[in-house]
Amino acid sequence: MKQLFLLLIAGSVLLLAATKSFAEEYHGEFCWQVFSESGEAYWRYKLGIYEKEGGHLALYGSIDYGPNGISAAHGNAVHIGDSIKLTINSADYEEGTEVWAETFAAKLNKSTLNGTWNALTLEIFEEENEVSSVYQRGAINLISCQ
């Protein structure tokens, strides 16, 4: 009976440890406005942020291009000293015009969640056979989600 009791306790501890190893914490929805180098408002991100074990952050949500519509976006982030570095990927097919894919990288101040960004976009227009690339950079500011 004593061995069965010890086995039950050991099994419970292992079960709790295994459950915790898959733990994640939802930090909520965060929104950012992206600006060009000259200060022109470009697009907005709306991302749900999940912190995985070990401090890894997973980002799931959307990118809003205003009149050009909304597309899916996802990425990840890491804490580096007083900064947070994020990488966001998005892609879309705009019926009758173009296909594009973008990789966006930002470095945010940990206390304000504002920062700077760089992005590389690849796009092809439906009637062309060449892929063009666009490099952009600017500022990114935390805003309230609407």
- For the segment 19-69, what is each residue's pLDDT rounded down to a tens digit? 445 678 999 999 999 999 999 999 999 999 999 988 789 999 999 988 888
Q: Residue 107 has which token pair?
A: 């470095």
Confidence of residue 5 (pLDDT cuts 50, 70, 90): very low
Q: Which domains does the chain have, with CATH numbers?
A: 25-143 (2.40.128)
Report pLDDT digits (tens) over 69-128.
Answer: 899 999 999 999 999 999 999 999 877 678 889 999 999 999 999 999 999 999 998 888
Question: In whole angstroms, what is the distance from residue 50 CA to residue 44 CA?
Answer: 19
Report angle CA 108, 71, 89 to the nearest 5 degrees.
45
Strand, helix or coil at 8?
helix
pTM comes to 0.80
> Among 145, 89, 144, which residue's Cα sits nearest to residue 122?
89
Amino acid at residue number 108 = L
